[in-house]
Chains A and B, each alone.
Chain A
Amino acid sequence: MSERAIDARGVRKSFEDGHIQALTGMDFAVQQGEFVAVVGPSGCGKSTLLHLLAALDQPDEGEIHVGGHDLRRRKDLNHFRAQHVGMIFQLHNLLPTLTAVENVQVPMFEEGLSPGERRRRALALLDAVGLEGRERNRPPELSGGERQRVAIARALANEPAVLLADEPTGSLDSEAGRLVLDLLERLRRERNLTIVLVTHDPEVAARADRVVRMLDGRLAPAEEPATATA
C-alpha cells in the first residue's frame, strides 16, 4: 500500500472570532500519487482546506501532515511551501512584469539555485507544459490556458510531491480547461504527483481518481474516512 501524501485529522478552522466555522473537525487523507477532487457548495470549506494543506494558514485545532511533514512542528512554513507543495489558483496570478520563463523561476529564488540552473529548469518545465516558444512572452501576451499552464509550471518549479489546485479551470473555456486537466493528469503520471483539486465543476471532478464531497466544514457522510481513504 502506498504512503499517505496528505493526512489531516480533526482539523478545525474558524474565522471572525469563531463566528464563521470553515472546518469543523475535518479528516482527510490522500495517498501518494493520487488525484483527488474536492467538491461541495460554496462556503463548505474547500478552499480553506486547501490553504491549510499549503501551510498558507494555520488550523485552530487538529493536525496536518503533508509529505510526512507535521505542519504544526514546522517553523519555516515558507520553506515548506517552496519545497513540498505547488499551488495553482483559479486566476493564474502570474507576475505581469515577468516573462513566462521568469515567472516559473520565481519560487526558485529561495532554493539558492544558480541562474543557469534556474533557467534550465524553468525552460524544461515550460516545455513539459507545452509552452515551448512562448518562454519570453509576458502574461498579457498569453491566452488564459497558456497562463494557467505557466502557473502549473511555476507550481512545479521546486519539484514538489503535492500539487494543490484551487479551481484551476474556473476561469478557462471548456477546451482550455480540458487541456489543463490533460496536462495535470499527464504530469501526475510522469512525476507521481499527488494532486488535490478543488472544483465546482462535476466534469472536472470526474477526471480525478476519487471525488471527495464536503459539506459544512467537513466531509459529507458518504466520504467519511473509512471510505475516503480506502
Chain B
Amino acid sequence: MRPPRGPWTLPETVSFLALVFRNLFRQRVRTVLTVLGIAAGMTIVVALGAITEGLRITSAEFVGAGGADFLVAQEGASDLTFSVVPADDVERIAARPDVERATGALIEVAELGDNPFFLVFGYDPQSLVDEPLPLTAGRVPDPEAAQEALLGARAAADLGLTVGDTLTVDGEAFDVVGLYSVEDQMRDSGAVVPLSTLQRMSARQDVVTAIHVTVAPGEDPDEIAEAIERDFPQLATIRDVDEYSKVDQGFEILDAANLAISLLAVGIGAIGVMNTMIMSVFERTREIGILRAVGWRGSRILRMVAYESLLLCLIAAALGIALGVVASRAVLLIPSISAFLTPAYPPDIFLRAVVVGVVVGLLGAAYPAARAVRLSPMEALRYE
C-alpha cells in the first residue's frame, strides 16, 4: 500500500516547474528573506505608482471641472497653484468667438486646522450664478457678498461644517451659504469663495491661477487650444492629464522618483537574487552534475536556474503588489492627504512591478545560470 502524500508531495508525475518550485524552497528561510527584500522595493514602486496615479486622476478631474473642454494656465509653472494668469487674459479668451465660456479660478492653499493643504478656489460670483455648482444644500453666494462661501461635500464632512456655519481661512471668516458635491476631488475637498476676496487675501490682485475653457458649439477643442497657445505664448492649455506637466512639474518629479526607485529596486533586488541563486547553484553543484549525467542539456539547466530566479521574483512581485496596495491605502489615514488623494490602481502599475520582477529575476539569474551551464559534468560529479 502506498503511503499518504506529505504536504509537499505532488502527484507522481513531477513537472519541470514543480522541480523548480521545490528547489527554490529547499532553503526556506533564505528564500523568504530574499523575497521580502525584493518585495520591499516592489512595495515602494507600487505604492508610489498608485499615489502618483491618484494625483493624476485628481488633476485630470480638475482639468475638466464644470464640463470645461480644457484648462489654461501659466506655461512652465512648477506647480499649478503657482501659476499666474493675468485676469485680462480671462476676458480676452472669453471674448473669442470660438469660446463659449472662460472662467478664471484662483487657487490658494491654506492651512485649516490639521490640514495644511486645504484648497480654496476663488471664482467670480457671477460665474457661480451662470454656471452653478451642483448644490446639495443652501444657495449660491450673493454676487455682491464678499464673505460668503460654498463648501465641498468632502470638506464639509471633514470639517464638520454645514450651511450657516462659519469657515475661517487665514483669519478671514466666511459664512457657509451652500454645500456642493462635484466629481473632482480637489474642489470637493475645498471651498469656493469670491475671486476678489481671495485675490486680496493672497495679495494676488488681477490674476487667476487657471482658466476653465468651454469652446463654442461645433468648435474643435484641440484646435481652439492650439490657437490659444499661439495667441498667448505665456499660457499653456491642458486638455488631458498627460499635458499636466506643462503647468505642473510635480508629476515629472514623481515620475522621476518612481523611475529612480524602480531602478534601485532592480539593482538591489538583482544583487540579492544573484547572491541567493549563486549560493543555490553552488550548493547543488553535484546535483547539476547528476542532471547532466542523466542527459539534461545545458539549456534545461539554464532554464531551471532562470525559472527559479524568476519564480522567486514573481513571488516577491505578488507580495510587493499586495503590500504596495496596503501601503497606498494606509496613506489615506492621514486626513490632509485623504482630502485630495485617492490612490488609483491602473493595470500598468502592477505590470510595472511584474516587469521589475522579471528584470530582477533575469539579471539575478544570468551569472548563476551561466556558471551552472559551464560546469562540466565531470567537475560537478567530483564536487563534494
Contact = CB atoms under 8 A, between A and B. Distances in A.
Interface stretch (A2-10, A63-71, A103-111, A205-213): A103-111
A172 to B, nearest CB: 19
B296 A78 contact: yes
Q: How many of chain A's residues touch chain B, expressed as a range?
A: 35 or more
Interface in B349-384: 376-378, 381
Contact of B294 (A82, A102, A123): A82
- Main secondary structure, interface of A, reads helix
A181 interface: no
B15 A133 contact: no
Contact of A133 (B2, B9, B11, B290): B2
A106 B294 contact: yes
B281 to A, nearest CB: 14
A97 B25 CA distance: 10
Contact of A56 (B3, B13, B16, B378): B378
A127 interface: no
B296 A110 contact: yes
B12 A119 contact: yes
A123 B12 CA distance: 9
Interface in B1-47: 1-3, 5-6, 9-16, 19, 22-23, 26
A119 B2 CA distance: 15
A101 B12 contact: yes
Given A102-B12, A122-B12, A133-B2, A93 B297 contact: no
A87 B293 contact: yes
Contacts of A95: 19, 287, 290
Contacts of B15: 115
A122 B14 CA distance: 11
B294 A87 contact: yes
B9 to A, nearest CB: 6
Nearest to B15: A115
Nearest to B291: A106
A158 interface: yes
Residue in B15, B19, B295, B381 whose Cβ sees the most chain A Cβ within 10 Å: B295
A123 B13 CA distance: 10
A54 interface: yes
A89 B291 CA distance: 13
B295 A107 contact: yes
Nearest to B18: A102
B290 A136 contact: no
Contacts of A97: 19, 22-23, 26
A108 B252 CA distance: 54
B246 interface: no
A135 B294 contact: no
Interface string A126-141: 0000000101110000
B212 interface: no
B101 interface: no
Given A97-B26, A98-B19, A98-B22, A118 B295 contact: no
A99 B22 contact: no
A78 B292 contact: yes
Contacts of A122: 12
A115 B16 CA distance: 10
Contacts of B294: 81-82, 87, 106-107, 154-155, 157
A57 B290 contact: no
B267 interface: no
B2 A136 contact: yes
A155 B298 CA distance: 19
B5 A105 contact: no
Contacts of A137: 3
Nearest to A52: B378
Contacts of A18: none
13 contacts: A78-B295, A81-B292, A82-B295, A93-B286, A93-B287, A95-B19, A97-B22, A101-B14, A106-B291, A107-B295, A119-B12, A136-B5, A136-B6
Interface of A: 51, 54, 56-57, 76, 78-83, 87, 89, 93, 95, 97-99, 101-102, 105-107, 109-110, 115-116, 118-119, 122-123, 133, 135-137, 154-155, 157-158
Interface of B: 1-3, 5-6, 9-16, 19, 22-23, 26, 286-287, 290-298, 300, 376-378, 381
Given A82-B296, A136-B3, 11 more contacts: A51-B378, A57-B376, A76-B297, A78-B295, A87-B294, A99-B14, A106-B291, A106-B294, A115-B15, A123-B12, A158-B295
